[in-house]
């Protein structure tokens, strides 16, 4: 995944008008020479900063569908208009190990959201062949990792915001 692309679509015309394609250079922004995104990737969204939240790894060898296995993984925040970006988390594997040191890889999934100052991410972590349930939370002064549920230690595939009418209620 060297680039992500966007096009604006104007639905006020019939038929809708499709604008020109704009590209964002994932490779340069992440500093990763062979970038790969998660299997069944989900783009997260930072509603507070109008930015796309996207996990990117360094594809290493023939990892098949387990794109992140054995690689560096970062969380990028990319302004929706592609005007700027930042690296939210530079080393996701080290962060998840702070919650459970036996974790040795991140595999298929990683997904993040931020709304009303609350940031959360689900990351597909493994210790050997065992899934480990890790959630990342943005504390306002940085991201922390938490072992989510030791009794049912299965990975979460993604995060969904919950709304009560037009009021943000939290994440599921």
For residue 65, name the pLDDT band (cuts at 50, 70, 90).
low
Secondary structure E strands in 11-160: 17-18, 22-25, 35-36, 44-46, 51-58, 73-79, 85-89, 105-115, 118-127, 130-138, 143-147
Give me 146's structure tokens. Answer: 């938490």
Place of tokens 């639905």: 11
For residue 39, name the pLDDT band (cuts at 50, 70, 90).
low
Per-residue pLDDT of 124-162, as tens digits, reads: 888 988 889 899 999 888 999 998 776 777 777 778 888
> What is the arithmetic mean of pLDDT over 91-97?
94
Q: How much is the pLDDT for 120?
A: 94
> Is residue 9 within a helix (H) or strand (E), and if so which, with residue range?
strand 9-10
- pLDDT higher than threshold 80 for residue 172: no
Q: How much is the pLDDT for 26?
A: 92
Against a cut of 0.85, is the pTM above it?
yes
- pLDDT higher than threshold 70 for residue 66: no
> What is the arithmetic mean of pLDDT over 53-66?
74
Place of tokens 């989900």: 42
Q: Count Cβ atoms below 10 Å from residue 106 Cβ, excluding itself.
A: 27
Structure-model confidence comparison of residues 37 and 128, the more confident one:
128
- pLDDT higher than threshold 70 for residue 20: yes
Q: How much is the pLDDT for 64?
A: 56
Of 46, 58, 38, 52, nearest to 123 by C-alpha is: 38
Q: How much is the pLDDT for 34?
A: 83
In the chain, the percentage of residues whose pLDDT exceeds 70 is 92
Decide if 1 contacts 22 (C-beta within 8 A): no
């Amino acid at each position: 995944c060297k680039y992500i692309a966007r096009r604006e679509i104007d639905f006020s015309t019939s038929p809708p008008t499709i604008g020109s394609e704009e590209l964002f250079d994932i490779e340069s922004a992440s500093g990763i020479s062979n970038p790969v995104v998660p299997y069944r990737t989900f783009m997260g969204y930072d509603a507070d900063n109008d930015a796309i939240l996207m996990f990117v790894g360094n594809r290493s060898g023939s990892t098949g569908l387990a794109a992140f296995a054995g690689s560096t993984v970062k969380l990028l925040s990319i302004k929706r208009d592609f005007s700027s970006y930042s690296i939210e988390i530079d080393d996701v594997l080290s962060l998840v190990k702070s919650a459970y040191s036996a974790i040795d890889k991140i595999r298929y999934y990683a997904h993040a959201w931020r709304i009303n100052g609350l940031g959360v991410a689900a990351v597909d972590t493994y210790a050997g062949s065992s899934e480990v349930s890790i959630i990342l939370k943005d504390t306002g002064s940085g991201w922390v990792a938490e072992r989510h549920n030791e009794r049912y230690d299965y990975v979460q595939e993604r995060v969904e915001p919950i709304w009560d009418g037009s009021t943000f209620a939290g994440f599921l």
